[in-house]
Structure 1
Amino acid sequence: MLIVGSGSVGKRHARNLASLGCRISCVDPRAERREELAAETPVVGSHPTIEAALAAGGLDGVVIGSPTAFHPAQTIAALDAGLPVLLEKPVAKTAAEARTIYDAQKRTGVPVLLGYTWRWWPPLLQVRSRLNEGTIGKLRHVQFHMSAHLADWHPWEPYQEFFMASAAQGGGALLDESHWIDLMTWFFGTPAELSGRVEKISDLDIETDDNVDALAMYPDGLRVSLHLDLYGRPHEKYIRFIGEGGSLFWSADPNRITIGKQSGQVWEEETFTCERNDMFVAVAREFLDVVAGRSKPSCTLADGIKVMDLIEAIRTSSAEGCTVQTGKADA
């Protein structure tokens, strides 16, 4: 397996795939990053560019874990070489760039698994099941909330040097934390209307947005609010679902689901013991099945294009101060 991008997520994918029996090669323009990865996970190849790695041959699949700006060229190169790809989110910086990858995938027929990893998180799979069972009745409002100070993400390096601080590399809250937009579409499909603000409001020394607030309108009366920020402490990730028959609350920390159906604070609680890396291992296992032809990707480029279109809608709404029609909602 070729790991393209030897930073934090690349090292994680390398460790996980090696633990599942894969031999690892890596790509990064920075020799010190390749050396760091190799110190953690033995490698059979180390290359400064994906072109050099592809020319060396001996590959069965490619993991693209580089900054977002490099996704299109690197993914298309892998697809043209006939190699299945595990692509980290988001697909690209823009919807137009994302469609170039989609077109290459259709042209080559080579599979791409998109790494919106929260889809593999056991508590959220349980939430989806409970919602589909109608546990809290007809949904009316859902609140997605992600707040985490950027300086805490990679404490081993200055956050100003992290790609998240760079507009050119595709950093920022809206793109990188599009996990939560993907989860919205995974749960509910595409909304009919979107409005939002994308801003830089904190004192963080970055070029990118650090605050996103959006409202999605569904034609059946469901309203979904989304808040993403890069300045909050303590870190919080949660989703609150309010239905006509009760409320359901999921949080990442503590790792649990609570359900309430009474007027008072009476909650049914389910606590989970899974760890964050478990969802990355689950993605790696699925990718190996995709490479072997045993399964098709469960999170596809088409899913990623939907997310990119909604990102563009939020950008347009923020720039023009308007509500954007996003088309007929999915069934």
Structure 2
Amino acid sequence: MKILIVGLGSMGKRRIRNLKKLGNFGILGYDPQKIRRDESFKKYKIETFDNIDHAISQHPNAIIISTPPDLHLKYALLAIKNNIDFFMELNHSSSHVKQIIKKIKGKKIIAAPSCTMRYHPIVSELEKLLKKKKIGKIFEIHHYNGQNLKSWHPWENYKNFFVSKKETGGAKELVPFELNWLFYLFSKIISVSSSVQKVSNLDVDIDDIYQIHANFKNGIIGNFIFDVISEPSFRETRLIGEKGVILCDFKKGTIQVNTGKKWNIKKLDTGKVASGYLGNTPPENIYEKEMKNFLLAVKRKQKYPFSLEQDLQILNVLDAIELSSKKGKKVVITEKN
């Protein structure tokens, strides 16, 4: 099986590691930057290309699009044109996803948007507790993810990659990344009231904090904060239910449950974070699980668990969050948002 990775930056290299861990694949890499091609060849001994058409001419069975988010559409359309199954890292643009859905209609191509956090051990354990109705009906969700932008890629200047651009800023990136698993465990969000702004002295023109009050379809109230200014970093969730409270600490790998008497604490083995990363970087094993599911879908052994249409629902909420902040009022999410 031959896999082409488009984009050999941080995520592209992570996908190379994932594939090498998962099996014996023919891994090809494309990147316009020579330094990244050379790094990938030196570290992983893969064949690299400086011309995307030349790379496509090698007839890969699938393409992994690990470019900055604003370039996903370009390479997704190229994959569709060549009838090649493809995976995309986290999308930011509802407009781009709509175009991909339109272009892929009627074709038997696997199009797999990223859903990384669904595979996190904390999310899996939380799903079990919810199915057991451990704290009964859920009334509120409070979730906070904060990590200073300077610690995302400690080896490079934060101003030199996509998290420093207005349309693909770091705080914006956190919103769909976290909403993905929240949608999965609870339900769709139907309305939001939000504040999106810059409050720090980061030397980039991006919004660095998203504060969101959300109403879920099943009646749950959500309060979320996503920022790129917090140091140290946090990723924590608090669920308030009719019978008690659940506290999740993604960094410590703990889930605490209190049903009125005492705290029961469970420590999970969440796996190792790749060398060189700081802050809230998720463990490598959840990326491996995501890639394994994509490869099984490419082999037509199982259906990929997250669709373009589901991805669009989340991005519609992201659009509504930004619109709510701009207009200063609550926004109801519809298919047209």
Answer whether TM exceeds 0.5 for this pair: yes
Within the candidate set 258, 263, 269, 2:265 is matched to 269
- For normalisation by structure 1, the TM-score amounts to 0.93
Q: Does 1:281 align with 2:288?
A: yes
Within the candidate set 317, 329, 332, 1:310 is matched to 317
Q: Which residue number in structure 1 is paired with residue 58 of structure 2?
A: 57
The CA distance in 1 between the partners of 2:236 and 2:270, in whole Å, is 16
Within the candidate set 40, 45, 53, 1:42 is matched to 45
Contact 2:320–2:333 under 8 Å retained in 1 = yes
> Kindly, what percent of the aligned residue pairs are identical?
24
Q: Which residue number in structure 1 is paired with residue 177 of structure 2?
A: 179
Q: Does 1:240 align with 2:238?
A: yes
Contact 1:174–1:198 under 8 Å retained in 2 = no
Q: Which residue number in structure 1 is paired with residue 164 of structure 2?
A: 165
1:36/1:252 CA distance change after superposition, 3 Å: same
Structure 1 gaps of 5+ residues are none
Contact 2:187–2:217 under 8 Å retained in 1 = no
The CA distance in 2 between the partners of 1:49 and 1:196, in whole Å, is 43
1:221/1:307 CA distance change after superposition, 3 Å: closer
Shift of 1:27: 1.3
Q: Which residue number in structure 1 is paired with residue 68 of structure 2?
A: 67
The CA distance in 2 between the partners of 1:239 and 1:22, in whole Å, is 38
Q: Which residue number in structure 2 is paired with residue 8 of structure 1?
A: 10
Deviates more, 1:147-156 or 1:190-199: 190-199
The CA distance in 2 between the partners of 1:286 and 1:210, in whole Å, is 33
The CA distance in 1 between the partners of 2:53 and 2:224, in whole Å, is 39
Aligned residues between the structures:
321
Contact 2:175–2:318 under 8 Å retained in 1 = no
Give the secondary-structure state (helix, strand or coil) at the position aligned to 2:105.
helix
Q: Which residue number in structure 2 is paired with residue 301 of structure 1?
A: 308
Give the secondary-structure state (helix, strand or coil) at the position aligned to 1:108.
coil
Contact 1:136–1:245 under 8 Å retained in 2 = yes
- For normalisation by structure 2, the TM-score amounts to 0.91
1:1-331 correspondence runs (5 A): 1-19=3-21, 20-44=23-47, 46-54=48-56, 56-90=57-91, 93-167=92-166, 170-218=168-216, 220-262=218-260, 266-275=262-271, 276-327=283-334
The CA distance in 1 between the partners of 2:53 and 2:45, in whole Å, is 21
Residue type matched to 2:43 in 1? E
Deviations 1:258-316 (A, max 9, x none): 111116xx211111113101101111111111111101110111121011100010011
The CA distance in 1 between the partners of 2:151 and 2:84, in whole Å, is 35
Q: Which residue number in structure 1 is paired with residue 279 of structure 2?
A: none
Deviates more, 1:311-320 or 1:188-197: 188-197
Deviations 1:27-67 (A, max 9, x none): 111110111122221213x123433311x223111111100
Contact 1:15–1:40 under 8 Å retained in 2 = no
